[in-house]
Homo-oligomer: A and B are copies of this chain.
């Protein structure tokens, strides 16, 4: 006999439980996660995760990748000790033709969250909102430590699914008076600027001239699928904070190797950026080595390395996306769901 939850909502009304022990695994759908995970909580969780890593309390996270015919799968997993130890494994499928061929999102996936005292699976949740918010949160944390206080203008390159999360998170830590949007598809930039302008109530401007927009911006965020860099060193004026967010596999690139080599480079995880981030291309191009990396973000958060030293520095954040962020965000969602009595219980081990 089939039990079907898809066509039902909230059939059973159990009282919220205090803990997870013996209560089954908590299921959280995409809309559950979107509702439960606020940018502020996600930023705080991600900042703390990077700090714990820098303090040696979170071992290096791991990645596995697999190529299918039409796309790829990757797994990102990490342990993170907060008040108690947690482990999360995120399985994401990345199938670029999904939209055109199947009317499905490019990226679909699942996060499995376990406590790391007995290993019990606490929660299974959709990965989409986790991925978007934890990625945006890393940019926001980096901007908090590395962007100038007085940033008046921000540019977002790439008006896909990641862009709104990036902007919303950035606005929690900096207050630009004007935001530019750039996309190869100009209509996309226009509709984004219109939609987010209405939502956020700031002047939003779609731009056609990339070089001009970069030169006019205090903060530049790239979140594209580019496979060849488009932000050139010569475009970026002194004092700018640049966050390269798109490069999350070895074939993707957004930032001029010379920009990385001549700016102050901060990574999320240097090992990982050497393998799949923009840093990887800069090292390949022999314009810098991994020893030229100024710091990992966690080292700056933990006070072990200095952040911005002057208003003139160009600082680049190479964001390759780490499982530390996933576990931090998943724990934040899980705790919020417990506190609010949200989610669906399923006894996986019954």
Contacts and interface: CB of A to CB of B under 8 A. Distances in A.
Given A12-B4, A77-B75, A119-B95, A29 B66 contact: no
11 contacts: A4-B345, A11-B11, A66-B77, A66-B78, A68-B116, A73-B79, A73-B89, A104-B120, A108-B119, A110-B124, A126-B349
Interface stretch (A175-183, A216-224, A287-295, A336-344): A336-344
A309 interface: no
A190 interface: no
A164 interface: no
A197 interface: no
Nearest to A22: B6
Contacts of A105: 349
Nearest to A111: B112
Contacts of A87: 66, 68, 73, 93
Interface stretch (A13-21, A148-156, A247-255, A268-276): A13-21
Given A69-B85, A75-B77, A5 B119 contact: no
Interface string A118-155: 11110011101000000000000000000000000000
B75 A346 contact: no
B4 A14 contact: yes
B5 A5 contact: yes
Contacts of A347: 5-6, 29
Contact of A66 (B8, B13, B63, B79): B79
A73 B112 CA distance: 12
A122 B13 CA distance: 27
Contacts of A62: 64-66, 75
Contacts of A25: 110
Contacts of A77: 64, 66, 73, 75, 91
A38 interface: no
A116 B98 CA distance: 11
A59 interface: yes
Nearest to A347: B6
A93 B13 CA distance: 31
A2 B14 contact: yes
Q: Which 7 A-B pairs have the closest CB atoms?
A: A93-B119, A4-B14, A6-B24, A62-B64, A68-B116, A3-B344, A6-B347
